[in-house]
A and B are shown apart, each in its own frame.
Chain A
Amino acid sequence: MNKEKKTLIDFFANNKFIHTLLSIVIGFVVGAIFLSIMHISVGTAYGKLLSTVFNGTKGLSYCVAYATPYIVVGLSVAFSFKTGVFNIGAEGQYVMGSMAACVTAILLPNLPKPVLIPLCFIASMLVGAIWGMVVAFLKTKWGINEVLSMIMFNWIAFYLSNFIANIPAIHNDGTAEATKYISDNAKIGLSADFIKAHDLCNVTNWGILVAIVLTIIVWFIIEKTTLGYQLKAVGFNKNAAEYGGISANKSIFTALAISGMLSGLGGALQLMGMGNRISVFSGQEGYGFAGIVVALIGCSNPFGVFAAGLFYGSLRYSGGKLNLVGVPTQVVDIIIGTVVFFIAISTIFSYVKYLKKKPKEVKKVEGKEE
């Protein structure tokens, strides 16, 4: 294969990035088909999506603010994917992390900003990591299937968060079913004057800088450190890694701890940058599942995840505005679902390379690849 001249078709057939882009295009096409079946103007719907996002600095800053938690949770899921663990428990880690930050901020409201903010971050990472490590512990100690225990711990987190939100010291004084607002010292938003001067949205915050730093750190750990090498080795082939002297159990522990840390921090960033309080949930927030989607669209590559998070956040934000023009917001779910589906079956894109060849050769190539 290497000796053959690289043609344009080969480029399209083998490039993961191109596959993702094609999937996104197909996602929008399928969304358009659904819209036209329902007699809704595609132009109005997609026009609204675009005009919401590219509404000057305001629209873009909204997208960035929305995207921040998705990026961080996406990094968390991508990191665990590298070790071959499917972190479906990101949801629970996210919920617990955000609650930990919330409790810290409410109980210690008078600490100065430079102390309180890191303290909230640490609390969220610690609790997120614990939530991840419990699952790893159950798996390594008693061999309990991690997918099962993660689903259980998502729900335990869900109800625990609701329970904590209802404790009198945490619950807000009014009638709202939510916690108190966190103190201003724990908020990571930009100053009101700056926001006004630059015409940004009112939830613009520093979280995106944290997300950028985390993206680089995760990339560094995965690509440039021994730890990352060990984790990837376990992800590729657990038995081979064990044979090479890497403890698979320890790696799963580390991966879930770091993954939990990231998810928890994602929760804290959302709380301190945008939410400022936690409502009593009626259904799961879905940040964890969104994180899985973001990690998949980003091909589990940290920089890919960053871009995918921005894409997902923008689509979520602008999709929320669709009902203003009478378009169901669910079209966004259809678009994203289709994108993920086509990423899953992206092997079909590599069939284009067989278009030019004879059927006999096709079989040979298939055999080689396996």
Chain B
Amino acid sequence: MSGFFTELSVIVYATLLYTPPLLFAALGSCFSEVSGVVNIGIEGMMTAGAFTGCVTAYFTGNPWLGFICGGIAGMVFGFLHAIATVKLGADQTISGTAINMLAPGVVVMICKALFDSTDTVPLKPESKIPILFNGAFDTTTTVGKILKNIFTNYATTYLVFIAVIVVWIIFNKTKFGLRLRACGEHPQACETLGINVIGMRILCVCISGLLAGLGGACVTMAASNQFRPVSIVGQGFIAIAAVIFGKFKPQGAMLGCLLFGFCTGLKVVIGSDAAISPHLISMIPYIVTVIVLILFVGKSRVPAANGKPYIKAK
């Protein structure tokens, strides 16, 4: 029995390791989508964050400075997307697609200039995001092992769940959150009430880039220790899927991300036994998502003005 719980706690550990990048990006996606801007470019913003975070930490040796710079890099591309879609009325999907091509191109090119390779040099352990509660538990006992698996994890894991709470409070308990949601539902009505819709949306898309950048930094600074062009392959899209899955609410997005994180963890734990093809196991999260949607969630209501450029003079 204790063996089972130990196994289970390993899966919990893996879940908590793979969830933060997705969840940061998903929270970012929430901001942008709820304010009414479709942000397909999350993937590119994550790549920018993943590279910048890792490189800054490599050169300065300070993981938190790297983490923040990763967020800022994501925000730069977020700002680009914001200006294009909100200010210049660009098609949001097209602009997002452009970001997804531009960001990896730019960072990999800089990477080649800095390291003469498409991969960065692996970070030293002290430049990575610190691990909390490391060695706090007595691993000679089963209970200690289980507690270690559950609680000893990178600081970003703790941060991301705090971020979920903060975002939930912003969305539901503040004036800003109310205005933000209104911008995504009926921008014209907002404007008549004196809310600066354009400003709100630009701010939200920037925040979305910031959070996506932080998510990217989690990948290269916690889950692994270097940036490679394949560091971010599809996590951004998974995050968008999680947000739609969670009906555009931060707590829902968290559930979606945990589901993907859990399935990834399950894959890592079961995959080593290889009784079933690892490729079939890898499929589980995606099939589970579809089934959960059919059985429990059903229709996800998209914010009414989502995807529609807002033109002030209307």
Contact = CB atoms under 8 A, between A and B. Distances in A.
Nearest to A139: B299
Contacts of A284: 233-234
Contacts of A249: none
Interface string B168-190: 00000000000000000000000
B238 to A, nearest CB: 7
B3 to A, nearest CB: 29
Nearest to A160: B283
A336 interface: yes
A330 B112 CA distance: 9
A293 interface: yes
A38 B241 contact: no
Given A159-B282, A296-B97, A282 B230 contact: yes
A158 B108 CA distance: 24
Contacts of A343: 94, 98
A150 to B, nearest CB: 9
B279 to A, nearest CB: 4
A344 B95 contact: yes
Contacts of A363: 313
Nearest to B288: A152
Contact of A333 (B102, B230, B287): B102
Contact of A34 (B93, B109, B283, B311): B109
B100 interface: yes
Interface residues of A, number: 50
Interface in B57-100: 80, 84-85, 88-91, 93-95, 97-100
Contacts of A296: 94, 97
B303 to A, nearest CB: 12
Contacts of B299: 142-144
A236 B238 CA distance: 29
A334 B94 contact: no
A303 B106 CA distance: 31
Most chain B CB atoms below 10 A, which of A142, A152, A156 = A152
B109 A331 contact: yes
Interface in A252-305: 282-284, 289, 292-293, 296
A29 to B, nearest CB: 14
A337 B283 contact: no
Interface string A145-183: 101110111111001101100100000000000000000
Given A338-B102, A344-B94, A147 B286 contact: no
Interface in B95-136: 95, 97-106, 108-110, 112-113
Given A147-B240, A340-B101, A152 B290 contact: yes
B293 to A, nearest CB: 5
Contacts of A138: 290, 293-294
Nearest to A141: B294
A86 B93 contact: yes
B302 to A, nearest CB: 7
Contacts of A333: 101-102, 104-105, 108
B298 interface: yes
Nearest to B100: A289
Interface in B248-299: 277, 279-280, 282-283, 285-287, 289-290, 293-294, 298-299
Q: Is the interface of B mostly helix, strand, loop or mixed?
A: helix
A148 B277 CA distance: 25
A337 B94 contact: no
Given A142-B299, A345-B84, A152 B241 contact: yes
Contacts of A282: 230
A273 B280 CA distance: 29
B91 A344 contact: yes
A160 to B, nearest CB: 7
Contacts of B302: 145
Given A156-B286, A333-B102, A344-B90, A328 B112 contact: yes
Nearest to B89: A347
A366 interface: yes
A363 B311 CA distance: 13
Contacts of A159: 279-280, 282-283, 286
Contacts of A348: 88
B237 A347 contact: no
Nearest to B238: A151
Given A143-B298, A148-B293, A148-B300, A334 B277 contact: no
Contact of A145 (B91, B100, B285, B300): B300
B244 A145 contact: yes
Interface in A313-362: 328, 330-334, 336-338, 340-341, 343-345, 347-348
A366 B312 CA distance: 11
A245 interface: no
A336 B97 contact: no
Contact of B94 (A156, A160, A340): A340
A160 B286 CA distance: 12
Given A34-B106, A38-B113, A147-B240, A155 B93 contact: no
Given A156-B286, A344-B91, 7 more contacts: A142-B293, A151-B237, A282-B230, A283-B230, A283-B233, A293-B97, A330-B104
Interface of A: 34, 38, 86, 88, 138, 142-145, 147-149, 151-156, 159-160, 162-163, 166, 282-284, 289, 292-293, 296, 328, 330-334, 336-338, 340-341, 343-345, 347-348, 363, 366-367, 370
20 contacts: A86-B93, A142-B298, A144-B299, A145-B302, A147-B241, A151-B237, A152-B286, A152-B290, A162-B279, A293-B97, A296-B97, A334-B105, A337-B102, A340-B94, A340-B97, A340-B98, A343-B98, A344-B98, A345-B84, A345-B95
Interface of B: 40, 80, 84-85, 88-91, 93-95, 97-106, 108-110, 112-113, 230, 233-234, 237-238, 240-241, 244-245, 277, 279-280, 282-283, 285-287, 289-290, 293-294, 298-300, 302, 311, 313-314
